A and B are shown apart, each in its own frame.
Chain A
Amino acid sequence: MSKFFTSSIGQKFFMSITGLFLMMFLVVHLTVNSLLLFGDGELFNVAANWMSSNPIMKVIEPILALGFIVHIIYAGYITLKNQMARPTGYKVSNKTKASWASKNMFILGGLVLIFMVIHLANFFWKIKFGTVDTIMVNGEELHDVYGLVAGLFKGWWWYDALYILGAIFLFLHLTHGFWSAFQTIGWDNDKWLGRLKVISYIYAIVIAGGFAFIPLYFLVKYIV
């Protein structure tokens, strides 16, 4: 059992379960974000404030952060070890057919991470520690998160471009990550392999497409 944590399969197992956990988080995140598209932002503001203030989320937040940290640290460690498994490379680079995303998960993950840092600075940091305007909703004082989002996406087009780019990286990362997570925990067979790859694409399109749609929506709304 103790060997499990240091074995190659054990390490991949942690990549897989943290990945699955983060993918569940993406669903919740997108669900809340989709409220941006309805009404004048009141609904979203109520949801966003609830998310940042209720006690359950206070517990989940550090777990989520831990999920990210484990996923990132293991990714770095595994990638390094895997590179060491081939000290001398080939002269002719490999021509074997394999999906581009699957071979570049570390780079894609790194790009998503860079995006995430910017994203956290844009919103999370400001809401948590910074200066967000407050508005009154039903007699309650709430952070105007909607205003913050709308302001960013309406004000600077390059932020829209950046968020769409981030979604593209996320899309590629998820097309491989989703089915790969199931494969690594052994929840796969010859029948499900193809099916899981299809579900992977559907999941990646819905999640990344959803996240990319939001800046597009504000951009169009602003131009029109």
Chain B
Amino acid sequence: MKIKLNIWKQANPKAKGRFEKYELDGVDPEMSFLEMLDSLNEKLIKEGKDAVAFDHDCHEAICGCCSLYINGRPHGPGEEVATCQVHMRAFKDGETITVEPWRAKGFPVLKDLIVDRNAFDKIMSAGGFVSIDAGQAPDANSILVSKVDADKAFDAAACIGCGACVAACKNSSAMLFVAAKVSQLALLPQGKVEAKRRALNMVAKMDELGFGSCTNTGACEVECPKGIGIDFIAKLNREYLCASFGEAE
């Protein structure tokens, strides 16, 4: 198949940037979207032109690197997929595909389609961990965790930190990400000890880095490749309120 591409090009964080038009022939419908971009880059390099810079690593929706806003949707068409799981069969022959980087104050563009998602690492450093050495995997029955909590914590832990929730949100809110990280630990005994401090510090960092607030549109959960639901945001709100009004730790 033949496709037309409209891709954001920006030389560096300070440069102005613009959309560049490309045409690519002989695209296999079974190609992944990232393979298609690879073949575009091969062609551009052969022609002596500047290749398109984009983020990717594992190609199996685990690393959370790939981050493209394709035709108005973070991670492109399809439900619960990361960009690396999008295939060219999802598009029509001759279609024009517009590819943009995540847009948010907290995610400045580094080059072309690559944004700096260091903000998420900073939020994690503010409290997304357990301070003590949790040691080896304990004996299954030494710390009792209900199946419900274990399942919920596991669901939350599926977050790969891709940032699609921020990209989809009209407020560029990072609440789904923070909710997943806070909930994952708050649901388990090892994480409960620091739950208050964690919720307060991670939310404070999120605000400081310029992410917006949550107005419950639910756009984030629609685009999350890992199906993290906004019920976790309710849990984060609960954790945060209890930590704010509760006793000091």
Task: Give the B-binding residues of A (Cβ under 8 A).
Answer: 1, 3-4, 7-13, 78, 81-99, 102-103, 105, 176, 179-180, 183-190, 193
Contacts and interface: CB of A to CB of B under 8 A. Distances in A.
B86 to A, nearest CB: 14
A125 to B, nearest CB: 33
A82 B210 CA distance: 9
A103 B170 contact: yes
A95 B72 contact: yes
Interface in B61-117: 69, 71-74, 98, 100, 103-106
Q: Which bracket fits the contact residues of B? A: 35 or more
Given A8-B211, A186-B241, 5 more contacts: A8-B206, A9-B240, A83-B171, A85-B212, A188-B231
B32 interface: no
Nearest to A84: B105
17 contacts: A3-B200, A8-B211, A8-B214, A9-B214, A11-B213, A82-B213, A85-B104, A85-B171, A85-B172, A86-B172, A90-B72, A93-B72, A95-B72, A98-B219, A102-B215, A103-B170, A186-B242
B216 A96 contact: no
B194 interface: no
B186 interface: no
B168 interface: yes
Given A85-B171, A85-B172, A97-B222, A4 B72 contact: no
Given A96-B168, A193-B230, A88 B244 contact: no
B18 to A, nearest CB: 10
Contacts of B215: 12, 78, 82, 102, 105, 180
Nearest to A191: B231
Contacts of A7: 203-204, 207, 240, 244
Contact of B74 (A10, A12, A96, A190): A96
Interface in B209-249: 210-219, 222-223, 229-231, 233-242, 244-245
A183 B69 contact: no
Given A91-B19, A96-B223, A189 B212 contact: no
A140 to B, nearest CB: 48
Contacts of B233: 183
A176 B241 CA distance: 22
B68 to A, nearest CB: 12
Nearest to B218: A98
B184 interface: no
Contact of B238 (A83, A102, A186): A186
A186 B203 CA distance: 15
Given A94-B219, A96-B222, A3 B204 contact: yes
Contacts of A96: 72-74, 168, 219, 222-223
Contact of B173 (A11, A85, A92, A183): A85
Contacts of A189: 231, 234-235
Contacts, number: 152
A87 B105 CA distance: 6
Contact of A1 (B19, B103, B244): B244
B237 A183 contact: yes
Contacts of A99: 217-218
Contact of B98 (A3, A78, A92, A98): A92
A81 B105 CA distance: 11
Name which of A3, A93, A96 has the most chain B CB atoms within 10 A of its CB: A96
A137 B239 CA distance: 55
Contact of A9 (B104, B172, B222, B241): B241
B241 A8 contact: no
B83 to A, nearest CB: 15
B234 A187 contact: yes
Contacts of A82: 170-173, 212-213, 215
Contact of B105 (A78, A85, A190): A85
Contact of A184 (B211, B219, B231, B237): B237
B212 A94 contact: no
Residue among A87, A99, A186 having the largest count of chain B Cβ atoms under 10 Å: A186
